[in-house]
Structure 1
Amino acid sequence: MNKNQQQIDAYRYFFPAGWLLGIWGVLLWILFPWNLVTYPGLSHPEIMTGGFFLCFVCGFLMTAAPRFTSSFGPTRIDHWISCFLIALLFVGLSTPKIFFYGVVVLIFVFLISYLVRRFLNRSSNPPDSFVFVGVGLAAGLMGSLILVAAEVFNVPRELYNLGRLFFLQAYILCLVVGVGSRLIPALLGWAPMPTEQAKTFNPKRYLCLAILFLATYALEAFGFTVLSQLSRALIFSFIFLRMWKIYRLPSRTAVQTYWLWISAWLVMLGQWGIVAMPDFRVHLLHVILVSGLGLMTFMIAVRVGLSHGRHDMTLEKSSKMLALGAFLMCLAGFTRLSAGIAPALYQSHLIYAAYTWILGLLIWGWVFLPKMVRVK
């Protein structure tokens, strides 16, 4: 392995940072009853989307983009900027919200700049679905800018709602569709791995889907809730069933593969649950974001860490600890859902969900974090 600083993959520090933020963002619910933190109702989702998810997004895209475009990897300056932004992100946990939002804006600007430079210097084209990545990053940047502005000015209610929806939901879902449409069918065994496929770039279909997908959040921000949720569910169903083919059992037999498949189903079914039971929207969103996207994030991170670190790939196939950690992450979302079903036990079920999620992350981290730090 080349030990040159420039060859260090960004996932090796972004994934551990995201793991820590994924624990802290949920630990707040355990600390709150002891009066150790203020009520985390607003800070929790922001830490999870602007910290946990965004760090994993950066780690994956900064590692994958040079390979998908046959371009150059992160430079020494890229590494220093990344580490500086991670440090600012942790500082932002204890500062006024405008500082945290500002750091998130800087991360989006840096990541977009990083990807554009690789795209302009490409020797091959990225997968067509990566147009969703560009749309998602633009939505994340726009949403975080709106939230920064809202801390200084009185912005219209609809614009503020749109900013929060873009920041808390749209950007990460766009990125999952963009990356997942190429990677997940391959991991499930229904498509060749990315390195085996000839690269073309005809993204019109995905661009139309991405625009329609973002439009559902604009509809929601302006009060057309039923139409927005139904449209989103239909788009998910088209992508997950038609393109990801999740209606078929995975052809690869592996712990990671089956939990990845389950997580995709839970994103789609969670969205249809919101359509059927709109009063439970917030609670069902946790099935989508925790049991769906959160679990999916860690399953993809397993493949990234093992393959790029040149570790034993049998861990993703038969690791009992991976199976246990994945089960707990999945269970955490449903435990959070139960808090909405049983209002009398709401606070206690939030705490149970937090413990379940954290335990799942600790088990995952115990097995896989050392492999993120050390490579062969």
Structure 2
Amino acid sequence: MPNDNASQPSHSSFERPGYWKLVAAGEPYRLLFVVGSVLGLLGIGLWPAYALKWIDFYPGLMHARIMIEGFLTCFVVGFLGTAFPRLLDVKRFSLEESLTWTVALITASLCHLFGNYLWGDFLFTLSILLLVYNLLTRFASRKDTPPPGFILVMLGMLCALFGGTLQVVIHLSPDGINYAMSTFSRLALNQGYLLLPVMGIGAFLIPRFFGLPNRQNFPESKKLPVGWIPRALFALFCGILVLASFVLEANNYLHTGYSLRAFAILLYFFRELPIHQAKFNQGALALSIRIALISIPLGYILMAIWPERQAAFIHVVFISGFSLLTFIVASRVILGHSGQSHMFRKNLKSVYALLALMCLAMLTRVSADWLPSVRMNHLGYAAATWMIAVILWGTQFFKYLSHEDCES
């Protein structure tokens, strides 16, 4: 099995531009992926702390906010801030912009950590608003058209803005929003904000993991190319189905809501991302992506069958789905931007370890709800397993963050 320390292009130290110069050159992922990983460890670490009685309060809401608005948002901003300007051939993000998001997301997470959810949600919403503003201002000067699936990315950003704004309103006026609207806003923030961009970005990026034809690729053109609008409308249709599933769930039509969400995901992936046609034995990254993409609809299918177990099965979506997918996409971004693209299809030990530990963490967390006498211990074990996976992954991949792609 190849070692992760595969041979690298030779650089002398004075030839490398340096870590901060690479961030300033329009690659915010180099900073935000590290910060996001640390925030993820912070948010997950609340569960072992609670199980060991180091803290005396139930950290459910605190954990959810730090993971969504801190950990995952750092990876979202880091990826979009790096990829979007390159896709459209526009001005890249500056060091000041990258640092602004970093400070804002760290501060938002710390606000949640200390129980100030109002300011945490406000800073998160402000950060997403700033991201959308910066993307739209650059869009006006584009030399190319984004992939049609990116309409789902913008729909996801709207979910984040809507959900975050309503959470702020709820903090200020707890009785001002009815139950259904409050639930919808929470679903939009906690799931729609992540699920919709995963669908949109995945359809463009993930075929590269399997060597599949990319149905999101169109000839470079500032005007909409032929065939772009039908694919964008199909993406929008699937996105609307996801939003409709949130409405159904918010009104307690749980079976129907979860079933519709799973259907929308499978429908979009089947047409735009047919991994069922991909060959196996394409390396650790491809296998992990396959498991992550299966986990997301599988979690919703299980919730549709056993809605009373929603709190358990949602972790199939979040742990072996979103979390695993986040780190695997981040792995490819890091390798691709550091001149290590020859490792894309290698059997990387660190990635197999990440995959195995994330799946173990998911199974441990899900099983906890069937073991009430030791539930808190299982939450602690699942969290510790997740943390070990991320630390091992970071140890292997963060060393490449100061390397540039000598071919770019």
**Corresponding residue number in structure 1 for 2:182:** 160
**Corresponding residue number in structure 2 for 1:73:** 92
Alpha-carbon spacing, 1:91–1:346, altered in 2? closer, same or farther (3 Å)? closer
**Corresponding residue number in structure 2 for 1:333:** 362
Q: Secondary structure at the match of 2:320?
A: helix
Deviations 1:350-376 (A, max 9, x none): 111111111110110100122234435
Which of residues 230, 246, 249 in structure 2 aligns to 1:217?
A: 246
- 8 Å contact kept, 1:189–1:252: no
Compute the TM-score of the two structures, normalised by the length of structure 1: 0.94
Aligned 1:112-261 pairs, distance under 5 A: 112-153=132-173, 154=175, 155-192=177-214, 198-199=219-220, 200=225, 201-202=228-229, 203-250=232-279, 253-261=282-290
**Corresponding residue number in structure 2 for 1:61:** 80
- 8 Å contact kept, 1:132–1:178: yes
**Corresponding residue number in structure 2 for 1:34:** 52
Alpha-carbon spacing, 1:35–1:316, altered in 2? closer, same or farther (3 Å)? farther
- 8 Å contact kept, 2:239–2:264: no
Question: What is the root-mean-square deviation in Å for CA atoms of aligned residues?
Answer: 2.0
- The one-letter code of the counterpart of 1:45 is A
* Deviates most, 215-224 or 304-313: 304-313
- The one-letter code of the counterpart of 1:59 is G
- 8 Å contact kept, 1:62–1:114: no
1:24 aligned to 2:57? no
Query: Identity over the aligned pairs, expressed in percent?
Result: 29
Which of these two proteins has the greater Rg computed from alpha carbons? 2
The structure carrying a bigger helix percent of its residues is 1
Cα deviation, residue 59, structure 1: 0.4
Deviations 1:15-55 (A, max 9, x none): 11110111111110000133333211111111111111111
C-alpha separation in 2, matches of 1:303 and 1:192: 17
- The one-letter code of the counterpart of 2:258 is Q
C-alpha separation in 1, matches of 2:204 and 2:273: 9
Cα deviation, residue 340, structure 1: 1.6
Alpha-carbon spacing, 1:127–1:54, altered in 2? closer, same or farther (3 Å)? same
Q: Which has the higher contact order (CA 8 A, sep 6+)?
A: 2
C-alpha separation in 1, matches of 2:136 and 2:125: 16
State the number of aligned residues: 375
* Deviates most, 164-173 or 220-229: 220-229
C-alpha separation in 2, matches of 1:47 and 1:80: 19
C-alpha separation in 2, matches of 1:25 and 1:316: 32
Which of residues 118, 122, 126 in structure 2 aligns to 1:98?
A: 118
Compute the TM-score of the two structures, normalised by the length of structure 2: 0.87
- Unaligned segments of structure 1, at least 5 residues: none
C-alpha separation in 2, matches of 1:338 and 1:76: 44
- 8 Å contact kept, 1:270–1:288: yes
Alpha-carbon spacing, 1:5–1:290, altered in 2? closer, same or farther (3 Å)? closer
- The one-letter code of the counterpart of 1:184 is I
- Unaligned segments of structure 2, at least 5 residues: 1-15
Q: Secondary structure at the match of 1:318?
A: coil
Cα deviation, residue 240, structure 1: 2.3
C-alpha separation in 2, matches of 1:285 and 1:223: 16
